[in-house]
Structure 1
Amino acid sequence: MDTNKLNRILDLMKEQEVPQMIISDPMAIFYLTGKKIVPGERLLALYLNINGGHKLVVNKLFPQEKDLGVELVWYDDIEDGVEILSRFVEKGKTIGVDKTWPAKFLLRLQELEPESKFVNGSLIVDAIRKVKNDDEKQLLREASLANDRVMEELIPLTAKGYTEVELNRIVRGLYEKSGHSGVSFDPITAYGKSGADPHHVTDGSKGKRGDSVVLDIGGILNDYCSDMTRTVFLGEVSDKAREVYEIVKEAQQRGIEAAKPGNRWCDVDFACRNYIEEKGYGAYFTHRTGHSIGLEDHEYGDVSAANEEIIKPGQCFSIEPGIYLMEEGIGVRIEDLVLITEDGCEVLNKFPKDLIVVPME
């Protein structure tokens, strides 16, 4: 296991008086061990104890060829994996468990450990994952720069008459061609009124002259995710759409300026939202301003009015305000990832944000 990451988790477990923890999230296990195991419906559990004796309980269907830095405990399909796991648990003591651990496993362990107190251990792991080390920072930089290049190739294609579904398929091909292992989420390629729906499901619509086109895309490069949004216009842009675009652009810049250590996550949201409200469009900014990112596109920690946590160096999140005018068929969102530094933030996306009108043939 990664000793530095492990020790940070163990220190936080001690601080929060959680003497032992069961990590079942495959991505959290990958974060610590560097090994991806996708167990399906079977039990996979990394047991951590502040006094040592860590174990990885894994089904024999998933043989491991390399040393993962933790003792492996095997079971097969006719054995009770939770009962085997319970042999290592300290009786009557608090146990941290993942927020996503299936109830069938948790309920069984509660039967076996009726004297123990169970708490959400994910908050500890998530807090550690939220602050990136130097290697992770570099991987996030590289992923975002690669995403910029995909966006650059994609934008001219918006005026070629493709449907949203076809354009979505093209985006996936661009990531594959550029060495990504996949997309970090289902790309949003939305024309006109579709773009005025913040999380529109791609359909067979085609763009027409004057449409805004919302392109929300991200890929996975060397296990780390990228995520960015640009909004462009086909052939021409109306005065109203230009006004909305410039408001969103300025709101996003204000959010970027607020993204620095000592401020709260909600301060970034307020910086974007207050400006949009000041311009009369507050009712049309209908989602939070951003989310954390790393090994997964949406990690713990959101940029919203409800999150009063203090921003710390090493954290990475999106800033993506938007205005959505369904009746007028105008949707605009601009998104970049920022990496918090000692005195501000580094914007990981370098692709320009000046308004682009894509020529139509």
Structure 2
Amino acid sequence: MNPDVTTELYPPARLARVQEATAAAGLGALLLTPGPDLRYVSGYDAIQLERLTCLVVPGEGDPFLVVPRLELPAAQASPAGALDVEMVAWDETDDPFALVAHRLPDAASVGVADRMWAVMALRFRDAMPDARQVPAGRVMRGLRIRKSAAEVAALREAGAAIDRVHRQVPALLKAGRTEREVGRDIAEAIVAEGHSLVDFVIVGSGPNAASPHHELSDRVIQPGDPVVVDIGGTMPSGYCSDETRNYCVGEPPDDYVAYHEVLRRAQQAACEAVRPGTTPEAVDAAARDVIAEAGYGEYFFHRTGHGIGLETHEDPYIVAGNTEPLEPGMAFSVEPGIYPGEHGARIEDIVVCTEDGHERMNHVDRGLIVIA
């Protein structure tokens, strides 16, 4: 990535804000192992290994990054190398957990990364038996949930990239091909259009379209099949894409056309409900009410959306019971679905709450796309 872009996405001042939040939460330190929290704080996209890599952010005192000696060059070359952070390299015969514990002798509580391997959390517990462990998400959530302008730009770039893939789907969906064959071509397109990783490819044809998280199968796509295509990946920036559109190979069933139009209206209503001060449960209700009034309520059985950023699924979740007011910078999917059984449909865009409303990150036609 361009160094200027990297600095905007992962500003050095972020570490100080995390340390302030750690102290405000009354924690002795955060222990951030490879994963989205470590990357958010330092820009370091570290490999998850059995060897410990851990950014230690104490409530008071200097942060430090513990790394296996063989990973030290990679850490130094990452954006973390530009931070004013001591890198503590450990050798194969060292105990890195004891090393961290030795530097935090007075810690009464520590926040462990939400995505830390359990075996590592247990090793920390053994090394620091008097320190209560809590999820680091208690500190990190409030920072990560509101995206900066640079993060929104990264999500916008991811949205444009996955839009380009969806525009290629009609040429790939043909009767006689299997879901797996189509999925393979889509995965290649996801990388070709700028993603560094393919996170998921759902190609649900016919009755498989009624399973929201359907895996690719060897089912042969038949004439008249509705097909749900839900795809996403991770960009070099670390930020994710996620978009769902609906296709039909040949003439669609009449009942499918009818409820797809209901779904389109429901997704539109939910997007229009997004603005500062609105609650996630109100956005969920905006979609759910349209679907229920049309008689399909029992066939919409998942939440309306999930937050997105350095993870495909993160806070905030767009679901009944979530009354936390939306704020500018919050980014999430809006993806109601209807799944009667013989087939199904879902329409999904990534939406960002703005100062005066919302911005969609995806712009491909949301109508039913019929492939002749």
TM-score by length of 1: 0.93
TM superposition shift of 1:336: 0.3
Residue by residue, what CA displacement relative to the aligned partner does 1:12-56 show, whole Å, maximum 9, x if unpaired? 323322242111243321222222211322212111123231011
Residue 22 of structure 2 corresponds to residue 13 of structure 1: yes
Is the CA contact 2:33–2:116 (under 8 Å) kept in the aligned structure 1? yes
State which of 280, 302, 318 in structure 1 corresponds to 2:295: 280
Which residues of 2 match residues 195-344 of structure 1 at below 5 A?
A: 195-222=209-236, 223-326=238-341, 329-344=342-357
Whether the 8 Å contact between 2:332 and 2:352 is mirrored in structure 1 is yes
Distance 2:366 2:126 in 1: 56
- SS at structure 1 position matched to 2:30: strand
- Given that 2:28 and 2:107 are in contact with CA atoms closer than 8 Å, whether structure 1 keeps it comes out as no
Structure 2 letter corresponding to 1:5: R
Which of residues 156, 159, 178 is equivalent to 1:141?
156
- Contact persistence 1:336–1:349 (CA under 8 A): yes
How many angstroms apart in 2 are the aligned matches of 1:108 and 1:165?
41
> Which residue does the alignment assign to 2:40?
31
Range with greater deviation from structure 2 (154-163 or 125-134): 154-163
2:177 aligns with one of 144, 162, 176: 162
Q: What amino acid maps onto 2:15 in structure 1?
A: L
Distance 2:216 2:222 in 1: 16
Sequence identity of aligned pairs in percent? 35
Tell me the distance in 2 between the aligned counterparts of 1:143 and 1:13.
Answer: 31
Residue 42 of structure 1 is matched in structure 2 by: 51
| Deviation (angstroms), 1:5 | 2.1
Instruction: Extract unaligned runs of 5+ from structure 2.
Output: 1-9
* 2:351 paired with 1:351: no
> Of 93, 96, 117, which aligns to 2:132?
117
Give, in angstroms, the shift of residue 68 of structure 1.
4.2
Greater Cα shift, 315-324 or 213-222? 213-222
1:53 alignment counterpart: 62
CA contact (8 A) 1:227 1:337 kept: yes
Q: Distance in 2 between the 1:180 and 1:118 partners?
A: 36
Counterpart contact for 2:274–2:357, Cα < 8 Å: yes
Instruction: Please give the alpha-carbon distance, in whole angstroms, between the structure 1 residues aligned to 2:52 and 2:21.
Output: 25
- C-alpha deviation, 1:337, in angstroms: 0.4
Contact kept in structure 2, 1:58 and 1:73, CA below 8 Å: yes
Give the secondary structure class of the aligned counterpart of 2:159: helix
TM-superposed deviation, 1:100 = 3.0
Q: Does 1:193 align with 2:207?
A: yes
Distance 2:365 2:344 in 1: 18
Cα distance in 2, alignment partners of residues 108 and 53 from structure 1: 23
- Structure 1 residue runs of 5 or longer lacking an equivalent are none
Q: For 1:153 and 1:15, locate their aligned partners in 2 and report how far apart those are by CA, in whole Å.
A: 49
Q: In 2, Cα distance between the equivalents of 1:39 and 1:180?
A: 20
Tell me the CA shift for residue 350 of structure 1: 0.8
Is contact 2:15–2:42 with CA below 8 Å preserved after alignment? no
Q: Structure 2-normalised TM-score? A: 0.91
The alpha-carbon deviation at position 173 of structure 1 amounts to: 1.2
Aligned residue type for 1:250 = R
Judge which range, 86-95 or 257-266, deviates more.
86-95
By how many angstroms is 1:166 displaced? 0.4
Kept in 2: contact 1:188–1:199 (CA 8 A): yes
Distance 2:32 2:118 in 1: 14
Q: Name the CA distance, whole Å, in 1 between partners of 2:167 and 2:215.
A: 23
Letter in 1 for 2:207: K
- Letter aligned with residue 190 of structure 1: G
